[in-house]
Amino acid sequence: MARSFILLVIGLVALSACVEAETLPPARSSITYGLTLEPSGFDPHRNQSSELGIVARQVYDTLVYRHPDTMEIVPGLASSWAISDDGLVYTFTLRQGVIFHDGTPFNAQAVAANLDRIINPATASQRARFMLGSFQQYTIIDDYTIQLILATPYVPLLDSLAQVYLAIASPAALNAYTPETYQFHQVGTGPFRFIEYVPGDRIVLRRSDTYTWGPDFYGANSGQAGLIDEIIFRFYRDESTRAAALQAGDAQIMGEMPPIDARALTGNSEIQLIPTDIPGQPLQFLINTALPPTDDLAVRQALLYATNRSAIIDRVYQSFSPIAWGPLSSPTLYFNRDVMSSYSADAVQARTLLESAGYSDANNDGLFDNLELRMIVPSWGRVPQVAELIRLQWREVGIDLELMPVAGFPALQEAVNEGQYHLVSFDTPGYDPAFLSDYFVTGGVRNYSAFSDPDLDNVLVAAVQEAVPGVRRAMVAEVQRYIMEQALIIPIREYVNINAADASIRGLRFDPYGWFPLLNDVYIER
């Protein structure tokens, strides 16, 4: 009964959106953008997937932006800002004359309403709340000036505010809908208006004709004939359908192309490939230091040596992705190049370490006695294929690995909470390495390795408070070195989102965080 009622509510919400959409005139220039999965939610304040940001970046503006060319923080809905000498007060001067798509004026009260929603426990924010760091409260100085007050300095705050998870939504729309239903009626100030979301089928956006306040890197193709005014996002969960949809003209842009299909399309003049580097953490496996035998450093190091990352990348990713060497991918701020080439594949060294840890093969079955490991394997990012290759590689070394597939983040979190695993794959994208605290500070929200070191804690905490770039760089470099010295992760590959588009698509580029297209300037070359 409860499930039927929920489905009925979702259906009615979708139907109301469809009725609204049907009153619109035909689009002048429309494209279909293929999404590769349908997340459990599309609300940027509540949910955390990269997929939702592909849509949300078109609907919303943020207080500031990170420039896609210079990587500098530039004005967005805030025209300027000032940071107090102690790093605790950020004063934002807001743009005037900005209007939400529903006609609500943008002002300091609107920013405050969004902050209230994000930090409200009822919102159940999976990511946005944590991106605010030590945010404590705000003070409205006047209609176009607001201060964000922190409990302790948090240098990554501007980087967080540039991301779509901290997008500014219409306070009127937030008040009109519940946290569960707002995702069907989203209202921002961005270049495109949210028209409808039909679960399992499509999301439709239409260009806002009144949009004049975008960041300075918008508008490169203003007035260009063929500038798109409608985007239809459709879900291509079955990866085997993505290339076919592009070639048939059913979609004009597709993200996360299967590497083998992308390799086949390299000679197709009608399709363009746009591989995009993703900063943040690589595809990695965190090693549980609280459960034997991976509580032993020698065992953890052996697992790294037993993993042939180059072979995995050649087979699974068709060499589109670089090898990952540490807890940060190379496009990430303060990446430490000194970790490169550490733990290169060496089966002999892996066996030597395991033997030094006391393991042997007494019954000569090719496997070390009493060395059985369990790995939590999520379904996304081709992790199952990677995990299977690791299982085979480790078996050659004498390590028995059991794979534990999980579907979706809730199932992964539940398996982690049970604690009966030795490895788990999870990672966070992002340009600023502040997310390392989530994974390696004692008790961090993503400390799936269960590692605890007060000295590491102190460096990570100090790093997000350090305003001098050179000093902070040295801190983050030391953190990366120490994580690999302690063999807390097995990094596999740096993320590359293999985007593909019809050859007629022009002006397509992505924001500095890699996953999110900037579609304001896209046009179709006739």
Q: What is the pLDDT of residues 77-131, one digit of tens each?
A: 999 999 999 999 999 999 999 999 999 999 999 999 999 999 999 999 999 999 9
Q: What is the pLDDT of residues 458-515, one digit of tens each?
A: 999 999 999 999 999 999 999 999 999 999 999 999 999 999 999 999 999 999 999 9
The residue type found at 513 is Y
- Going by C-beta distance under 8 Å and a sequence separation of 6 or more, which residues neighbour residue 336? 326, 328, 476, 477, 480, 481
Query: What gap in Å lies between CA 189 and CA 462, rounded to an integer?
Result: 36
The residue type found at 112 is A
pLDDT of residue 13: 45
User: Encoding tokens for residue 480?
Assistant: 């990366």
Domains in the chain (CATH in brackets) are 2-273+498-524 (3.40.190.10), 283-494 (3.10.105.10)
Mean pLDDT of 398-421: 95
* pTM, full prediction: 0.88
Q: How wide is the angle at C-alpha 47 spanned by C-alphas 328 and 169, nearest 5°?
A: 110
Q: What is the pLDDT of residues 36-55, one digit of tens each?
A: 888 878 999 999 888 899 99
Query: What gap in Å lies between CA 367 and CA 388, rounded to an integer?
Result: 17
387 within 8 A of 421, measured Cβ to Cβ: no
User: Encoding tokens for residue 492?
Assistant: 């596999």
Residue 500 backbone class (left: φ over 0; alpha: ψ -120 to 50; beta: rest) = beta
User: What is the average pLDDT value for the chain, to the nearest integer?
Assistant: 93
Reference 95, options 118, 77, 72, 68; nearest CA is 77
